[in-house]
């Protein structure tokens, strides 16, 4: 039998493991349930892929994103390892063919979403095959107190019932101590071995700046135009506007958000990965499973909802070990906005009781009945019927789903999307020719600014009210305009269905859940407060603040964050000048990587990395495409 190191060298070409990888692999090989917390870029996939290649059978990998699954499957196939992903796009005969392949194809890896795992046909196949191990990627999604909670993750335990002796390994890059404990409990791990690597990133400088003019601040930060960077914005519209603004300033950028067609997402991602568009402006729909190691900057231009999401997104910078920066820009408006978005719209037990009562009235469900009945659901009509605030109601329904009162279909929250793909003059001429389309088309233009520039969510019910036309007529006209290539259309005639999981008992249904509702609300409030405390704390090293939040003892200052840099400036710049002189002298020999510089100079690595960025900002040095520094 080969050793884990031999498998690593054979398939990945590496001759040594990263910290904790070998210990985690040995734990799984010994059949022990295992929990691995490793930072972004810490090599989590190796921890289950190598033992899967050493054990008999198929490794079942639960993963939350199709892009993540497809990327890992492609990488395994490139190494001549048989791997398959069962995604939501597989239907009918194609799905049955793939299920037969699993039974008879001797696959070493099967990637599957937690939603797919709920299907009986999938479970029947999994029951029949020999499973080597069960890997749960982004395992914190199973914790209802985690930042990315996915209700379907709760069903993962069906695998434990089907294969009670198979070891489970959970993997995550972000989990506070309480989320870790809940994750272990929810996965039903038995006496697990828990490995937690340090989240400290020696090469990553966390910086926070107050900025009224964020566009100008970005221009100053991104001085080198061909440097790989990710800029996170809150809304789809903002990604487009910011990308266009940076392009006019001479930068080469693209944008990415969840509303783009699949082929366009792929094209934009490839342009960024291959360097033709080195800067990508994106919503948080972008990032998970994206493997690009040389990102120099990750910039947030609005406050994140939690330090968990911020830490994960910021961690996509500098995965190759070179000096990189995670920058957060904010102003007073952002502070009020984050409270409004993530605290003011949180439902309490009283709100849930009201929403639940209205739902039962909406569907005319008698008291004591309704369990396991499914109803088509028009969210907008529901809110308008009872004059309910949209965001509070949306979050309330999500909470009722999380708490097991009802189940929302995966279409919940989806709305029809339209973008005009012709010039405005051509659209007006089209309206002149088609009278029915004129009323509806012009109403669209009045209601939704920017509908020519980017895919825009529309409310078909509201358009029907504005125009006096029926919903059926609106849909007919939109489909006709799409066929004649006037618009791009992604149509959802109903945005959800709801399945009630328990009989209607009004207060008696919600009262037992009040404690959990309060805990969840308090947790969300605490997350937002932690973000605000992080940006306002100008005394404690940024890296130390983040490490402590995730339960790691941290005393050593990083020396390169915005807090440390400010304190060094106040204390005098004698040492900085000394380090700068040594770096410049060393670079006279020719281009050098940050690793070569830190290995050849006697100063602390963090201080050298900090001075390197100061020299870059002063344009005393530059970096080339091989991530080497040289004299300007």
Is the pLDDT at 110 greater than 90? The verdict is yes
Strands 253-256 and 279-282: parallel
Reported confidence tier of residue 572, pLDDT bands at 50, 70, 90: low
Question: Cβ distance 49 to 185 under 8 Å?
Answer: no
Interatomic CA distance for residues 579 and 376, integer angstroms: 67
Q: Which of 255-269, 338-352, 533-547 has the highest mean pLDDT?
A: 533-547
| pLDDT at 453 (0 to 100) | 77
Reported confidence tier of residue 120, pLDDT bands at 50, 70, 90: confident
Reported confidence tier of residue 495, pLDDT bands at 50, 70, 90: low
> If DSSP codes are grouped into helix, strand and coil, which group holds residue 318?
coil
Reported confidence tier of residue 558, pLDDT bands at 50, 70, 90: confident
Question: How is the beta sheet containing 628-631 ordered, strand by strand?
Answer: 592-593, 628-631, 621-623
Six-digit token string for 349: 């037990």
Interatomic CA distance for residues 613 and 625, integer angstroms: 16
Mean pLDDT (the chain) is 86
Is the pLDDT at 41 greater than 80? The verdict is no
Query: What is the pTM for the complete model shown?
Result: 0.73
Count Cβ atoms within 10 A of the Cβ of residue 574 and give its class: 0-12 exposed, 13-18 middle, 19 or more buried: exposed
Six-digit token string for 428: 């007006």
Is the pLDDT at 148 greater than 90? The verdict is no
Q: How many CB atoms lie within 10 A of CB 82?
A: 15
> If DSSP codes are grouped into helix, strand and coil, which group holds residue 324?
strand
For residue 423, give every residue at least 6 positions away whose Cβ sits within 8 Å of its Cβ, in sequence order, or none: none
Is the pLDDT at 494 greater than 90? The verdict is no
Greater confidence, 51 or 491?
51
Greater confidence, 617 or 302?
302
| pLDDT at 89 (0 to 100) | 60
| Poorest-pLDDT segment among 171-175, 269-273, 541-545 | 171-175
Is the pLDDT at 321 greater than 70? The verdict is yes
Six-digit token string for 187: 């996965």
| pLDDT at 596 (0 to 100) | 87
Q: What is the mean pLDDT of residues 517-521?
A: 83
Return the exposure string of 486-511: e unless at least 16 CB atoms fall within 10 Å of the residue's CB, then b. Answer: bbebbeeeebbebbbbebbeeeebbe
Q: Where are the alpha helices (DSSP H) in 305-449?
A: 307-314, 332-342, 349-362, 379-385, 390-402, 424-433, 435-447
> Rounded to the nearest 5°, which phi and psi values hold at 230?
-120, 130
Q: How many CB atoms lie within 10 A of CB 612?
A: 22
Question: Cβ distance 61 to 137 under 8 Å?
Answer: yes
Nearest to 203 by CA among 70, 82, 292, 326: 326
| pLDDT at 573 (0 to 100) | 64
Question: Cβ distance 267 to 198 under 8 Å?
Answer: no
Is the pLDDT at 33 greater than 90? The verdict is yes
Greater confidence, 459 or 373?
373
Q: What is the mean pLDDT of residues 140-161?
A: 74
Return the exposure string of 156-179: e unless at least 16 CB atoms fall within 10 Å of the residue's CB, then b. Answer: beebbebbeebbbbbbbbbbbeeb
Count Cβ atoms within 10 A of the Cβ of residue 563 and give its class: 0-12 exposed, 13-18 middle, 19 or more buried: buried
Is the pLDDT at 121 greater than 90? The verdict is no
Phi-psi region of 494 (alpha: psi -120 to 50; beta: other; left: phi over 0): beta
Question: Cβ distance 491 to 475 under 8 Å?
Answer: yes
Greater confidence, 220 or 386?
386
| pLDDT at 163 (0 to 100) | 93
Q: What is the mean pLDDT of residues 93-122?
A: 85
pLDDT, tens digit, 9 for 90 and up, residues 386-423? 999 888 898 899 889 878 888 887 667 667 889 899 88
Is the pLDDT at 16 greater than 80? The verdict is yes
Q: Return the residue matching tokens 């038995």.
A: 190
For residue 26, give Cα distances in angstroms to 4, 34, 169, 321, 466: 8, 10, 12, 26, 65
Is the pLDDT at 108 greater than 60? The verdict is yes
- Chain-centre distance for alpha carbon 461: 31
Is the pLDDT at 226 greater than 80? The verdict is no
Q: What is the mean pLDDT of residues 356-384?
A: 90
pLDDT, tens digit, 9 for 90 and up, residues 332-362? 899 888 888 788 888 999 999 999 999 999 9
Question: Cβ distance 322 to 627 under 8 Å?
Answer: yes
Q: What is the mean pLDDT of residues 190-214?
A: 90
| pLDDT at 90 (0 to 100) | 65
For residue 574, give every residue at least 6 positions away whose Cβ sits within 8 Å of its Cβ, in sequence order, or none: none
Q: What is the mean pLDDT of residues 95-107?
A: 85
Percent of the chain whose predicted confidence (pLDDT) is above 90? 36
Q: Return the residue matching tokens 């670079």.
A: 587
Interatomic CA distance for residues 86 and 355, integer angstroms: 36
Is the pLDDT at 147 greater than 70? The verdict is no
Count Cβ atoms within 10 A of the Cβ of residue 422 and give its class: 0-12 exposed, 13-18 middle, 19 or more buried: middle
Is the pLDDT at 225 greater than 80? The verdict is no
Q: Where are the alpha helices (DSSP H) in 151-286?
A: 157-162, 177-186, 214-221, 236-248, 262-273
Q: What is the mean pLDDT of residues 588-609?
A: 83
Is the pLDDT at 60 greater than 90? The verdict is yes
| pLDDT at 297 (0 to 100) | 93
Greater confidence, 244 or 119?
244
Strands 621-623 and 628-631: antiparallel
pLDDT, tens digit, 9 for 90 and up, residues 71-84? 889 999 999 999 99
Beta pairing partners, 168: 134
Q: How many CB atoms lie within 10 A of CB 448?
A: 17
Reported confidence tier of residue 570, pLDDT bands at 50, 70, 90: low
Strands 297-300 and 229-232: parallel
> If DSSP codes are grouped into helix, strand and coil, which group holds residue 616?
helix
Interatomic CA distance for residues 295 and 276, integer angstroms: 14
Q: What is the mean pLDDT of residues 529-534?
A: 95
| pLDDT at 411 (0 to 100) | 65
> Rounded to the nearest 5°, which phi and psi values hold at 460?
-65, -40
| pLDDT at 493 (0 to 100) | 60
Percent of the chain whose predicted confidence (pLDDT) is above 70? 94
CA end-to-end distance (rounded Å), the chain:
53
Is the pLDDT at 604 greater than 80? The verdict is no
| Helix (H) and strand (E) counts in the chain | 27, 22
Six-digit token string for 196: 């937690």
Interatomic CA distance for residues 339 and 377, integer angstroms: 29
């Amino acid at each position: 039998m080969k050793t884990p190191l031999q498998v690593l060298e054979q398939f990945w070409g590496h001759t040594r493991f990263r910290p904790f990888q070998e210990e985690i692999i040995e734990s799984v090989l010994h059949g022990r349930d295992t929990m691995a917390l490793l930072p972004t870029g810490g090599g989590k996939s190796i921890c289950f892929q190598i033992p899967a290649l050493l054990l008999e059978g198929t490794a079942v990998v639960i993963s939350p994103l199709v892009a993540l699954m497809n990327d890992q499957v492609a990488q395994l196939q490139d190494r001549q390892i048989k791997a398959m992903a069962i995604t939501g796009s597989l239907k009918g005969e194609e799905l049955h063919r793939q299920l037969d392949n699993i039974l008879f194809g001797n696959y070493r890896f099967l990637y599957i979403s937690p939603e797919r795992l709920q299907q009986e046909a999938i479970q029947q196949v999994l029951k029949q095959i020999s499973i080597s191990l069960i890997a749960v990627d982004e395992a914190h999604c199973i914790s209802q107190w985690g930042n990315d909670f996915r209700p379907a993750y709760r069903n993962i335990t069906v695998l434990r019932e089907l294969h009670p002796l198979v070891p489970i390994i959970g993997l995550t890059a972000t989990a506070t101590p309480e989320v870790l404990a809940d994750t272990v409990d929810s996965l039903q791990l038995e006496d697990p071995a828990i490995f937690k690597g340090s989240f400290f990133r020696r090469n990553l400088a966390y910086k926070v700046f107050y900025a009224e003019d964020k566009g100008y601040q970005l221009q100053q930060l991104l001085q080198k135009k061909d440097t790989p960077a990710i800029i996170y914005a809150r809304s789809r519209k903002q990604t487009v506007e910011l990308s266009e603004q940076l392009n006019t300033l001479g930068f080469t950028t693209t944008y990415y958000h969840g509303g783009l067609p699949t082929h366009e997402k792929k094209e934009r991602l490839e342009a960024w990965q291959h360097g033709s568009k080195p800067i990508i402006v994106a919503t948080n729909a972008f990032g998970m499973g994206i493997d690009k190691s040389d990102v120099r900057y990750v910039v947030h231009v609005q406050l994140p909802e939690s330090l968990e999401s911020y830490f994960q997104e910021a961690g996509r910078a500098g995965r190759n070990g070179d000096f990189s920066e995670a920058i957060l820009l904010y102003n007073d408006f952002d502070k009020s906005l984050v409270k409004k978005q993530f605290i003011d719209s949180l439902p309490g037990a009283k709100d849930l009781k009201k929403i639940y009562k209205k739902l039962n009235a909406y569907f005319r469900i008698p008291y004591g009945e309704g369990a396991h009945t499914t109803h088509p659901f028009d969210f907008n009509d529901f809110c308008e019927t009872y004059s309910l605030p949209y965001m509070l109601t949306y979050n309330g329904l999500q909470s009722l789903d999380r708490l097991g009162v009802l189940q929302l279909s995966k279409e919940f929250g989806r709305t029809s999307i339209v973008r005009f793909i012709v010039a405005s003059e051509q659209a007006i001429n089209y309206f002149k020719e088609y009278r029915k389309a004129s009323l509806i088309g012009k109403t669209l233009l009045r209601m939704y600014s920017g509908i020519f520039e980017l895919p825009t969510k529309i409310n078909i019910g509201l358009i029907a009210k504005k125009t006096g036309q029926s919903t059926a007529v609106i849909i007919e006209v939109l489909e006709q305009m799409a066929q004649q290539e006037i618009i791009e259309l992604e149509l959802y005639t109903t945005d959800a269905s709801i399945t009630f999981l328990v009989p209607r008992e009004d207060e008696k249904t919600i009262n037992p859940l009040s404690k959990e509702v309060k805990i969840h609300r308090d947790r969300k409030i605490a997350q937002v407060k932690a973000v605000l405390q992080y940006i306002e704390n100008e005394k404690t090293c940024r890296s130390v603040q983040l490490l402590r939040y995730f339960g790691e003892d941290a005393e050593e200052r990083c020396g390169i964050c915005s807090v440390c840099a400010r304190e060094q400036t106040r204390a005098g710049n004698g040492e900085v000048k000394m380090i700068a002189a040594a770096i410049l002298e060393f670079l006279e020999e020719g281009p050098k990587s940050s690793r070569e510089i830190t290995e050849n100079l006697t100063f602390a690595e963090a201080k050298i990395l900090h001075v390197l960025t100061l020299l870059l900002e002063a344009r005393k040095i530059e970096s080339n495409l091989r991530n080497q520094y040289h004299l300007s």
